[in-house]
Amino acid sequence: MGTAEPRRQVRLSTKPSFDDLAALRLGDVVFLDGLLYTGREGVYMRALEEKQPLPLDLPAESAANFHCAPAAVEHADGSIEMGAVTATASFRFSKWIEPWLRLSGAQLIVGKGGMSPEDYRTKFVPHGAVYLTTVGYGTGALLGRGIKTVKGVYWRKELGLAQAMWVIEAENMGPFLVASDCDGNCLFERENAKISAGLKAVYEGTKPAVLKRFGETDDRSDELI
C-alpha cells in the first residue's frame, strides 16, 4: 500500500494541558480519552443567541467540542444506543466559534474539514484551541468503537436527536488528524498550496464556458457572455 511511513500517533485527553497541545504537529494522528460533547448550529444558537445556560459545566467537564450528530436511538427503557459517529463540515459554524470558545473554554474543536486559516489565527490561537479533523470522510464505525458510554443527552426535546448536545465518554477514540496547531498553522491550507501550484497544467486544453456565471466575474453589472 503506497509508500507512506507510519504517522506519529498521540493519545490526548479531552481536557488537555498547554504542553499537550503545544506538542501537536500538523498531520499527527490523535486518539481521544475522556468526555466530549457534540455541539453544532442548534447548540450554538441556543447558548449564544438565546442565552440559555449551559447544561453542563464547561470546560471543567470537557474541553472538546465535536461537530457531530450521531446515529443514535433512545430505547423505550430510556437507554441510549449509539452506532456510528461522523463529523459535519465545520466551516459553516465560523460565525459562532469565537463566542463559543470564550463561553465554553473549549480547547479541542473536532469536526470535518477544518475552519479557515483566519479563524485559526484570530480566534483559535488567542483562546489556546486547536482543530482536529475526522478522517475520510468518515470513519463512523471506527469512531463508534471509541465510545465507552453515552453519559447523557441535553436539549434533546428542544433541538431534536441530531442537534442535541450528546455527552460521550471516549476511550482511545479516533483516528483524528491535527489540522491546526497552537501557532495557527493550517494543514489544509498547506496542502491546498501544494496542489494549486499544479492546477494550471491540469486545466490546459480546456477553455472557459461560453456562458459565464456570477462568481466568475465579481461585478454584478457585468454581462455573463
> Given the rule CB under 8 A, which residues bind another protein?
1-5, 7, 27, 29, 68-73, 81-89, 91, 112-114, 133, 135-145, 160-163, 175, 177, 188, 191-192, 194-195, 198-199, 202-203, 205-211, 213
- Going from the C-alpha of 185 to that of each of 131, 143, 194, 204, the distances in angstroms are 10, 25, 15, 32
Closer CB to another protein, residue 81 or residue 126? 81
176 strand-pairing partners: 30, 134
CB 216 → another protein: shortest distance, Å?
10
| CA dihedral over 134, 139, 144, 147, signed as positive or negative | negative
CB 102 → another protein: shortest distance, Å?
25
CB 91 → another protein: shortest distance, Å?
8
In angstroms, the CA 221 to CA 87 distance is: 40
Closer CB to another protein, residue 129 or residue 177? 177
CB 192 → another protein: shortest distance, Å?
6
Closer CB to another protein, residue 60 or residue 202? 202
Closer CB to another protein, residue 15 or residue 111? 111
Identity of residue 193: A
167 strand-pairing partners: 37, 152
In angstroms, the CA 107 to CA 195 distance is: 30
Closer CB to another protein, residue 16 or residue 42? 42
What distance separates the 2 farthest-apart alpha carbons in the chain? 63
Main-chain dihedrals φ then ψ at residue 219, nearest 5 degrees? -95, 115
In angstroms, the CA 72 to CA 150 distance is: 10
Closer CB to another protein, residue 19 or residue 75? 75
Closer CB to another protein, residue 60 or residue 210? 210
CB 128 → another protein: shortest distance, Å?
23
123 strand-pairing partners: none
CB 203 → another protein: shortest distance, Å?
6
CB 126 → another protein: shortest distance, Å?
23
Return the number of other C-beta atoms located less than 10 Å from residue 5's C-beta.
6
- Going from the C-alpha of 211 to that of each of 206, 207, 208, 216, 224, the distances in angstroms are 14, 11, 8, 10, 6
